Amino acid sequence: MAFRIVLLPGDGIGPEVIHQAERVLNRVADVFGCEFVFTRQRIGGSALAAGLSPLPPDTLADVGGADAVLLGAVGDPAFDHRPAGSRPESGLLALRREMGVFANLRPVKVWAGLEDAGPLKPGVLTGTDLIVVRELLGGLYYGQPRGWDRETGTAINTLGYSRPEIARVARVAFDLARARRKRLVSVDKANVLETSQLWRAVVNDVARDYPDVQLSHEYVDACAMKLVVAPASFDVVLTENLFGDILSDEAGAVCGSLGLLPSASLGAGPGLFEPVHGSAPTMAGKGVANPCGAILSAAMLLRSGLHLPGEADAIDRAVAETFAAGVVTGDLAVPGVSTAAFGDAVIARIRRDPPTRP
C-alpha cells in the first residue's frame, strides 16, 4: 500500500530541512518495504513569489487527497509590509483551518549527549520530557473582528473561545497524559481574561472523565518562569493558541535549540506535520540549518499520521544515536556539521529493530 505524502517545503530554510526529512523517509521505505508517494506544492512566500495566493488552490486540492502533509516553514521578510491576510503566514493559518487540525502537539525533551547544549545547567535540565498541546484553530489568530485602521491609528484583534473548542483539545491532552506520566498542567491567564476563566472551567469539566490524571492550573507568566527554573516538573502542558506558540519556542530553547522541535497538528482528517522553528531567513541557503525538527516531524507523521510505529521508532532511535555520537549542527555546538551531513548521519543509522530472541 502506497501512502500519499504532500511536501510543502515553503520558505527560508524550509526546503533544506524538508529535503533531509524526505531522504530519511525514503531510507525508511527501503528498510521497511513500505511505499511513500511524494508530491510537492507551494505555500506562503514561495507561492506569493510565483504570483499565487499564500495557499494556492492546487496546494489545497493536493492536500485534500493526501494521507499526511509535511511542511517546512512559512515566512519571508520580503512580504512583511503586507496586510495580515496576504502575508505568507496567512497561507499556513488557512491550511490549518482547512485541514481542521485543532490540536498541535509539540514534544520537548533533553537528548542524551545534548545536556550541555542549552542555556540551562545540566542539573536543572535533567529529566525534562514534556509535551505542549497547543490549541491551533482559535483565539487571537482567528478571532473577528480584526484589523488595523490606519486613519484612526487603532488596531484590533479578538480573543474568543467556545466550550466545544476548548473541550476537544483538552481531551487530546488528557488522553496523552493518560498514556504518559499522568500529569497535566493547563495554562491560562484566568486572573485577567474571561476566555481563560472559561478555559479553566471547561478543562475542569473534562477532567471528571480522567480521574487518573492529576490536573493543575498555572498562569502563563508563572508557567514561562517555571519552564526555565524547573522544566523537568512538566509532563503535558495544555494551552491556547498564542500562549502555546510562545511557550513552545521557550521550551525548545531550554532544551538546546528550537531547531530540535517537531510538531504534529491533528484533527479528524489527515495530519499536518511541521518543525516548530520558523523560516530563519538569515540561515537559508547556507546548508547550516538543523534538519532535526523536520526529521522528527517525519517520525511523528509515521507514528500518528500513518500508524507506522515501528518505522517512527527507527527514526527516533537513529536521531538519538546520532546525538549520542556527538553529531550536531551549528545551532547546538560550534563547529557543527552541515544540514546534509546530519541527514546522512541519521540515514546511516536507520534500521529495523534487531530480532528479539524468545
What residues line the site for ligand IPM (CB under 6 A)? Answer: 74-75, 89, 92, 245, 276, 278
Residues 96, 43: Cα–Cα separation, whole Å: 12
Going by C-beta distance under 8 Å and a sequence separation of 6 or more, which residues neighbour residue 64? none
Count of CA atoms in the C-beta half-sphere (13 A) of 262: 26
Element at 10 (helix H, strand E): strand 2-10
14-32 vs 309-324: helix crossing angle, rounded to 10: 120
86 or 233: CB nearest ligand IPM? 86
User: Angle formed by the axes of helices 14-32 and 292-300, to 10°?
Assistant: 50
Sheet of strand 214-219: strand arrangement: 35-40, 2-10, 68-73, 271-273, 264-266, 103-109, 129-135, 236-239, 183-188, 214-219
Grid coordinates representing 353 are 529493530
221 among known catalytic residues: yes
Binding partner of residue 75 among ligand IPM, Mn ion, none, CB cut-off 5 to 8 Å per kind: ligand IPM
Of 11, 188, 235, 245, catalytic: 245
Please say if 62 is a catalytic residue: no
Q: Which is nearer to ligand IPM, 75 or 343 (CB)?
A: 75
Output 32 or 142, the one with its CB closest to ligand IPM.
142
Nearer Cβ to Mn ion (67/245):
245
Does the active-site annotation cover 182? no
- Residue 29: CB minimum distance to Mn ion, A: 30
Interface with Mn ion includes 245 (CB under 5 A)?
A: yes
Nearer of residues 193 and 242 to Mn ion, judged by Cβ: 242
74 binds, among Mn ion, ligand IPM, none (CB under 5 to 8 A by kind): ligand IPM
CB of 288 to Mn ion, least distance (A): 20
Q: Among 67, 76, 188, 189, which one carries the catalytic annotation?
A: 189
Q: Which is nearer to ligand IPM, 113 or 267 (by Cβ)? A: 267
Which residue type occupies 76? Answer: D
Q: Where are the beta strands (DSSP E) in 225-281?
A: 236-239, 264-266, 271-273
Distance in Å, CB of 98 to ligand IPM, minimum:
15
Q: Verify whether residue 219 is a known catalytic residue.
A: no
Active site (annotated) includes residue 245: yes
Q: How far apart are CA 103 and CA 13, in angstroms?
A: 25
The DSSP code sequence of 99-120 is HT--EEEEEEEPPTT-TTTSSS
With residue 58 as reference, give the H or E element that holds it.
Answer: helix 57-64
Shortest CB 107 distance to Mn ion, Å: 15
> Which of Mn ion, ligand IPM, none does residue 107 bind (CB under 5 to 8 Å by kind)?
none
CB of 275 to ligand IPM, least distance (A): 9
Task: Work out how close the CB of 53 gets to ligand IPM at its nearest, in angstroms, rounded to a whole number.
Answer: 16
135 sits near Mn ion (criterion: CB under 5 A) = no
Please identify the residue of the shown chain whose CB is closest to the bound Mn ion. 245
| Residue with cell string 518543525 | 275
Which residues carry out catalysis?
141, 189, 221, 245, 249
